[in-house]
Structure 1
Amino acid sequence: MKRIVWFLALGLIAALTIPILIGGGGIVDELRGFPTSQLLLMLGMIVVCWNLNALRLRVLLAGRAGRLPQWRAFSIVMATEFAICATPGGTGGPLTLLGLLARRGVRPAQASAIFAVDQLTDLLFFLSGLIGVAIYVLIEAVNLELGWLVGLPTLLLITALVLLWLTLSNYARVMQITGRWLEKLNVKRRSRFGLARRLLHFRNSLVETLQLPRWQLLAVFLLCCAHWLIRYSILYLVIQGLGQHIDWAWTFLVQMVSMAAGQLSFLPGGAGGAELTSSAMLTPLIGAQSAAAAVLIWRFVTYYFYLLAGFPIFLATAGKAFLRMMNKRKRG
């Protein structure tokens, strides 16, 4: 737990220091001139995003958690989002979700499958978004030399989806190969069978979730699209509030590349990597001071606000369960 706190502190320091160093003293004037009404609007948009994700969770559960009211699903989403933002690589998010759903009688395999389908819909949205950005770049002929910024993430997403499809289609073969590798690594027979049993339960739960009625799966995807379209409009509104202008498609791409780069920093919330990448991509377009101010405001709304608003909800709903689960993993 102390390690998580140290990582979070280091991430917050990096997230604040990088934009300040890039923007210099002039960043203060940029921040002072930002409209308060615009900031409140963006914070309200984040609350809408949490509600959309809560509704998406309820649709995915399909009654497997009993009667789950919107406010309860909302608190689960906020606690999970806080854990994602507060832990390296977002590893605390799935653990928090599993712990909270377990209280409502959802088995770990089912909760894991729900989380996996949730992430799958995110991948499908981002793939669709990147294809849309690629079409925009070709039509507008906007700096085609930067096409790799669209092509590389698109290739990675397609590869991930193909690998997932191949894994599910050839599950028995994958299990055989995995078992042989584990045997060569001298993993005990009991541990190998235990892992295989858990993976089988997860696979069955994943198939069960994907076999929901088509209208429910479509509703999940539409809610996913609505969430990310609102979330990824934040940076566009920030730049507008600073008196600058960039096409929405480019702010979408900046956020995608920045958050992917943030994962490489291994700090909570992608801190450091996200700020450095987004500042580097925005500076040639709007200048260093405006870029640094935009990054600070954008990250306040999409990162700091998640921590500030989610912390009390996390403590009230998942704090003790999360600590127990972390201690159990440590002992294991």
Structure 2
Amino acid sequence: MTRTLWLLGIGLLAIMLVPLFLGGSGLFAQLRDFPLSIFIGMLGMVVVCWQLNALKLRILLKGRARGLNQTRAFGVIMATEFAICATPGGTGGPLTLITLLTRYGMKPAQTTAIFAVDQIIDLVFFLSSMIALTLYIVTKAVDLHIGWLMGVPILLLSVGLVLIGLLARYHDRTIRLIAQSLVRFRIKPERRQRLNRRLLVFRNSLVDTLGMPRKLLIGAFVVSVAHWMVRYSVLYFTVIGLGQHLDWSWTFLVQMLSMAAGQLTLLPGGAGGTEISSSALLAPILGQATTAAAILIWRAVTYYFYLVAGAPVFMVMAGRPLLRRILKGKSEDETPSEAS
């Protein structure tokens, strides 16, 4: 727990120090002149993102979570996103979602399957967006170096989706292989039986979710697209508030690449990597001081606000025991066990 708190503190410090080092004395003048109305509007955009994610969650659950209306789903999303922002690599997010949905009759393995489908939908969106942006960059000759740079994440996303497709196609063989591995590693029989049962529940829930009517899956994808379009427009409005102008597509690309780079740091919220990579893409266009101010405001909305607004919701819905568990990095084995 202490290690995670230290990492969170380092992450928060990195988010502030990188822009301060980059912008120098000109940073504070930029922040002082930023329109309050635009800042409040961007906070409202984050609230819209939470609502969209809550709607997507309810679509994927398909009525299986008893009593989970839009308001409660909104709270679940806020608490989950707080946990993602507060833990290294976002590891606390899935555990928080599993624990909260258990209270609505969902088994942990079922929730894990829902989370997996949600991630697949996001991967499809990111892959489609990167391909479209790459084609735009190449045809418009915006910056061919950036076009080649995007080839790496496109390749990784494509490989990831292919592997997921192969696992889905040959899931029976995969389950047998995992069961044999548990025996080979001498896992205790009762624990092996519990893990195998969870794996089967996960498989069945995944098949059930992916087997939903096509219009529901398309609806979940459309909601996901709307969420990321709103979320990745925050930097665009930040630049406008600073009196500058960039193409929306460029700010979209900057956020995609910088957030991906931030994940490599394994610090909460991708701290450090996100700031450094975004500054490298923005500074040649906006200048040092404006770039520093843009990064600080953008991260305040898309990171600090998630922590400040999500913390009280997390404490009300989950409480201190779960907070201690996610900060210690405990596994889902400690979540309430599902019914047989």
TM class by shorter chain equals over 0.9
> CA separation in 2, counterparts of 1:227 and 1:293?
25
SS in 1 for 2:243: coil
Map Cα deviations across residues 207-236 of structure 1 (whole Å, 9 max, x no partner).
111111111111111110000000001111
Aligned partners of 2:19 and 2:293 also within 8 Å: yes
What is the CA RMSD across the aligned residues, in angstroms?
A: 1.9
Shift of 1:150: 1.9
> CA separation in 1, counterparts of 2:324 and 2:88?
18
TM-score by length of 2: 0.92
Count of aligned pairs:
332
Taking a change above 3 Å as real, the CA distance of residues 182 and 107 of structure 1, as seen in their structure-2 partners, is closer
Map Cα deviations across residues 172-214 of structure 1 (whole Å, 9 max, x no partner).
3323444455555454455444433322221111111111111
1:163 aligns with 2:166: no
Taking a change above 3 Å as real, the CA distance of residues 136 and 198 of structure 1, as seen in their structure-2 partners, is same
SS in 1 for 2:67: coil
The residue number in structure 1 matching 2:87 is: 87
> CA separation in 1, counterparts of 2:291 and 2:324?
42
1:303 aligns with 2:340: no
1:33 aligns with 2:33: yes
The residue number in structure 2 matching 1:214 is: 214
Q: Which runs of 5+ in 1 are unaligned?
A: none
1:75-114 correspondence to structure 2 within 5 Å = 75-114=75-114
User: Which amino acid in the other structure matches residue 120 of structure 2?
Assistant: L
1:1-332 correspondence to structure 2 within 5 Å = 1-183=1-183, 185-188=185-188, 190-320=190-320, 322-323=322-323, 326=326, 329=331
> CA separation in 1, counterparts of 2:270 and 2:8?
10
TM-score by length of 1: 0.94
> CA separation in 1, counterparts of 2:294 and 2:170?
46
SS in 2 for 1:246: coil
Taking a change above 3 Å as real, the CA distance of residues 170 and 162 of structure 1, as seen in their structure-2 partners, is same
> CA separation in 1, counterparts of 2:216 and 2:236?
31
Aligned partners of 2:138 and 2:147 also within 8 Å: no
> CA separation in 2, counterparts of 1:331 and 1:115?
17
Percent identical residues: 55
Shift of 1:51: 0.6
Aligned partners of 2:67 and 2:104 also within 8 Å: no
SS in 2 for 1:198: helix
> CA separation in 2, counterparts of 1:242 and 1:320?
40
Shift of 1:118: 1.0
